[in-house]
Amino acid sequence: MSKELVIVFVKNIKLGKVKTRLAKTIGDEAAFEVYKELVKVTEHATKALNTPVRVYYSDVIVDTKWENHYKAVQEGNTLGERMQNAFLKGFEDGYKRIVLIGSDLPDINATHIQNGLEALKTSDVVFGPAEDGGYYLIGLSEMNHMVFTNKPWSQSHLLSETLSELKENNTTFTTLVTLNDIDTFEDLIASGFYKNNIELQRKIKQLND
């Protein structure tokens, strides 16, 4: 059995429920199209790994994506609880190094994920910082409830506050390269993901004409 596990958190792709900040500028249907493309990027990144992948959906399991992988529905009232429960299950099943990623990163690739797993050979915790002050990847080499409890989710000081707490508790950590997710229209048009996706540009223009 592999000692390493990758967990992916995916929002079910529902109109009006994904990329809501982006939708304020380009509309629900266009934001829906953007998120569909971002999920494809994430799926492509995980396919290049030789590591077991578990996919946790926000509401219901989708059989047509991530075929032949373990799938489940996220459990918990907060993001922290949902991530904590997914990690707990992984450690209970015998995995030793676990990383969790979201599914809305335009630049995520297998190397980022592999670097996270590699960092856990020498650190207790690993983070992939996001430009907005949060993180796109979190990894643990053993269960740590502290990183999931009483945290300012979706706030710009999430990562800095978490790292300060780890330092106070003498918990070792590594940070990876910083990536930007797509929350706003400015994020979208600045990204190579959008600039290089002519079909997505066409769809968004069509929906907003």
Domain boundaries, the chain: 4-200
Q: With a cut of 80, say whether residue 21 has pLDDT above it.
A: yes
pLDDT score recorded for residue 63: 84
Name every residue whose Cβ is closer than 8 Å to that of residue 24 and which is 6 or more positions away in sequence.
none
Phi and psi at residue 173, to the nearest 5°: -150, 160
Which tokens sit at 90? Answer: 């992984």
Chain-centroid distance, C-alpha 21 = 17
Q: Rounded to an integer, what distance in angstroms lies between the CA atom of residue 29 and that of residue 189?
A: 17
pTM: 0.93
Task: pLDDT band for 4, please (50, 70, 90 cuts).
Answer: very high
Phi and psi at residue 57, to the nearest 5°: -90, 155
pLDDT score recorded for residue 35: 93
In CATH, what is the architecture of 4-200? Alpha-Beta Complex (3.90)
Task: pLDDT band for 125, please (50, 70, 90 cuts).
Answer: very high
pLDDT score recorded for residue 56: 97
Q: What would the mean pLDDT of 126-145 be, rounded to a whole number?
A: 95
What single DSSP character describes residue 121? T
Q: Rounded to an integer, what distance in angstroms lies between the CA atom of residue 149 and that of residue 162?
A: 10
Residue 73 · residue 59 · CB < 8 Å: yes
Task: pLDDT band for 53, please (50, 70, 90 cuts).
Answer: very high
Note the pLDDT tens digit of each residue in 177-189.
999 888 889 889 9
- Sort 1 into a burial class: Cβ within 10 Å, 0-12 / 13-18 / 19+: exposed
The one-letter amino acid at 83: M
Name every residue whose Cβ is closer than 8 Å to that of residue 80 and which is 6 or more positions away in sequence.
148, 149, 151, 153
Residue 120 · residue 28 · CB < 8 Å: no
What single DSSP character describes residue 117? H
pLDDT score recorded for residue 16: 86
3-state helix, strand, coil in the chain (%, to 5): 40, 20, 40
Instruction: Please indicate whether residue 155 or residue 88 has the higher confidence score (pLDDT).
Output: 88
Residue 103 · residue 34 · CB < 8 Å: no
Tell me the pLDDT of the chain averaged across its residues.
93
